[in-house]
Amino acid sequence: MATQTRQTDPLDSDMLGPIQTETMTLNMGPQHPSTHGVLRVVLELDGETVLSCKPVIGYLHTGIEKNMEEKTYNKALPMTDRMDYLAPMSNNLGFVLAVEKLLDMEVPRRCRYLRVLLAEMTRLNSHLVWLGTHALDLGAMTVFLYCFREREQLLKIFEKVSGVRMMTSYFRVGGVAREPYPEFYEDCRAFLEPFSDRVDEYEELLTNNPIYLRRAEGVCAMTAEQAYALGITGPLLRACGVPYDIRKNEPYSGYEEFNFEVPVGERGDILDRYLVRVAEMRESRRIAMQVLEGMPEGPLMADNPKVVPPPKEQLAHDMEALIHHFKIFTEGYSVPEGEVYQAIESPRGELGFYMISDGSPDPYKVKVRAPSFANLHALGEITRGGLMGDVVAAIGSIDIVLGEIDR
Amino acid sequence: MSEEEREQTEAEEPVENKDPDLVLLQAKIGEGFLGAREHRGQISAQIAPAALLDAARFLRDERGYKLLSFVCGVDCLELPVSYRFKVTYSLLNPEKSQRLRLEAPCADDLEPAMPSVCGVWPGARLHESEAYDLLGITFEGHPELERILTPEGFEGHPHRKDFDISAEPVAFTFRDTPAGKPRAAE
């Protein structure tokens, strides 16, 4: 049948010449709305099929790690917000925990609770942006509006507690920047209590939506072994069925005191990544509610006058407090020699700070193990052999933040 | 550093015996194992570059360190050690939630090089490219070693301690001043 058609076809091969077998190289980005930042992707295509997909990064490289070497620990802290600008408090938390580990210092229980509360609300914030933009990439506009409605409430709380909407820099080595405002816990409760209904709303829009399922189910799947080999962590690894969550497996900042589940997927496709993150939002709400229920009394800041600045009132009538205040803000505090690695579970995966101190008030070396940097490896792997249209869905499902990839 | 080492030599049990994985690793690579250090409960083992790949394969296949968390080059110029560059590998055993750090000092201070672990953990590709870009450490056997963060045509390696960050040249392009008007500099 096929040969017959070819014989009678006027557009025969001797008119058109030999069939084109060359592949096409397509450049996507760096200015592309669905690359979520300044990412460039070089695609090699055979028709609609992706033969290879190479992410090109570096457009946002600002040398944050190098800059940190020239600054005291407290001055280096605000730069951590600028890396993962969707989850600033997770970055703050990783940084302060690493410095506290170098200093061998404990913070009071109330401070740990407050940090956990804010870190979980940051996770909600980050997942909301992810959900909204991922759905938008696939053509579902409504989800974006719903997610940003809730995100706005979160940003208002962040602004009231830290003074800034996005670049909060609220955590400090030895505590937090200041006592939260009086209605803070009520505001959190007012946001968190109806939040599970909000998640139901998002799920109504997507989870059983046949259009979404056609784009997500079985698309760009990855196995657990592939994920291990590429160093992939966070929701991507859990979507492959590996229940690895640093909050559970290597608890930090008092996470062992809270009850929560680690949601996992089975197939490791885009749908599973979506389901894992949605389930994580419910779990984050659960942790945050437990913090609000069990918020302990007691001091907020660690008792270490060399590191933690004294309360403002003391400066007027306490000579020693004034000296400490002056020393902390001029030359900083010396940190004992040594090197540590502190990993936390950021919304995107394992966020680690590898820090070397030479005993001076400036870090000798800071290396940020950014989760997106490793997770970006997945892109080439999961899009290979798939369709070109799925590349956008894949980038969205990885949840990258270029700020932390390039640093 | 020196004080800490003194403490360790005084301690009854050497650090390398604390972790059963390190005991086995030591038995496996023998002289390639240069020692171990502990700080704040975290152990880092020093490995000779020649034994790095053997150690990596052994730890991945037989001790369950399936995940390479990161690779980081360090310029030790101002640290009290005999070598200039070292490369740190942070490994994770996800089943046991155990972490281990390997450190390999580069033999040559002027042209630092290290065998690439991309064959063991393919995820090392971008991390090693980053260390090459920022510190100028060459990874032998790397499939695609290239600058990934600094712009095209960039010279030098910014994370080296002797890289001057205050003196980056600024390219000014002046427009010609209209005839008759004095130039800005005059």
- SS3 of residue B110 by DSSP: coil
The pairing of strands B138-140 and B113-115 is parallel
**What are the tens digits of pLDDT across the range B114-142?**
999 998 899 898 899 999 999 989 998 88
A298: left (phi over 0), alpha (psi -120 to 50) or beta: left
- In A, minimum Cα distance to B144 occurs at A54
> Residue B23: pLDDT band by 50, 70, 90 thresholds?
confident
CA-nearest of A355, A332, A107 to B39 is: A355
- Least trusted range by pLDDT, from A369-373, B43-47, B84-88, B171-175: B171-175
Evaluate whether A188 touches A157 at the Cβ level (below 8 Å). Answer: yes
Sheet harboring A24-28: ordered strands across?
Answer: A24-28, A40-46, A49-56
B165 touches chain A (CB under 8 A): yes
Tokens of A211: 């259009």
CA dist., res. A29 & res. A57, Å (int):
11
pLDDT over 90 (residue B183): no
**DSSP letter assigned to residue A47:** T
**What are the tens digits of pLDDT across the range A358-386?**
888 999 999 999 999 988 888 888 888 88
- In A, minimum Cα distance to B72 occurs at A367
CA dist., res. A119 & res. A116, Å (int):
5
Q: Calculate the average pLDDT of chain B.
A: 81
CA-nearest of A174, A356, A366, A249 to B40 is: A356
B119 touches chain A (CB under 8 A): no
CB-closest option in A63, A101, A233 to B158: A63
Percentage of chain B beyond pLDDT 90 is 16
**What are the tens digits of pLDDT across the range A52-87?**
888 888 888 888 998 898 889 999 999 998 888 888
pLDDT over 80 (residue B62): yes
Confidence at residue A11, expressed as pLDDT on a 0 to 100 scale: 54
B118 touches chain A (CB under 8 A): no
So where are chain B's domains? 2-140
The topology under which CATH files domain A64-406 is Cytochrome-c3 Hydrogenase; chain B (1.10.645)
Q: Given an 8 Å threshold on Cβ–Cβ distance, is B165 in contact with A244?
A: no
CATH class, domain B2-140, is: alpha beta
Looking from the CA of A3 toward its CB, the CA atoms found within 13 Å total 0
Confidence at residue A123, expressed as pLDDT on a 0 to 100 scale: 92
Report chain A residues whose CB lies below 8 A from the CB of B79. 356, 358, 364
CA distances from A68 to A77, A83, B159 (A): 8, 12, 11
Helix boundaries (H) for A104-194? 109-137, 141-162, 184-192
CA distances from A292 to A72, A296, B98 (A): 34, 9, 32
B153 touches chain A (CB under 8 A): no
B151 touches chain A (CB under 8 A): yes
What does each of the 407 residues of chain A score in pLDDT, given as a tens digit?
344 444 455 555 555 566 667 888 888 877 776 667 788 888 888 888 888 888 888 888 888 998 898 889 999 999 998 888 888 999 999 999 999 999 988 899 999 999 999 999 999 999 999 999 888 888 888 888 999 999 999 999 999 999 888 888 899 898 888 889 989 999 999 999 999 999 998 888 888 888 888 888 888 888 888 899 998 999 999 999 899 999 988 898 889 889 999 999 888 889 999 999 999 999 999 999 999 998 888 888 888 888 888 888 888 888 888 998 898 888 888 889 889 999 999 999 999 999 999 888 999 999 999 999 988 888 888 888 888 888 888 888 888 888 888 88
Burial call B137-155: b when 16+ CB within 10 Å, e when fewer: bbbeebeebebbbbeeeee
For A75, other C-beta atoms within 10 Å of its C-beta total: 15
B125 touches chain A (CB under 8 A): yes
**DSSP letter assigned to residue B180:** T
CB-closest option in B1, B79, B123 to A231: B123
Suggest the residue from A61, A69, A105, A405 to mutate for an interface test with chain B (most B CBs closer than 10 A): A61
Confidence at residue A50, expressed as pLDDT on a 0 to 100 scale: 87
Mean pLDDT for B30-52 is 85
Verify cis geometry, omega within 30 degrees of 0, for the bond prior to A18. Answer: no
**What are the tens digits of pLDDT across the range B70-128?**
999 999 888 888 888 999 999 999 888 888 899 999 888 888 889 999 988 998 988 99
Report chain B residues whose CB lies below 8 A from the CB of A344. none
Q: Given an 8 Å threshold on Cβ–Cβ distance, is A354 in contact with B72?
A: yes
Confidence at residue A351, expressed as pLDDT on a 0 to 100 scale: 92
So where are chain A's domains? 64-406
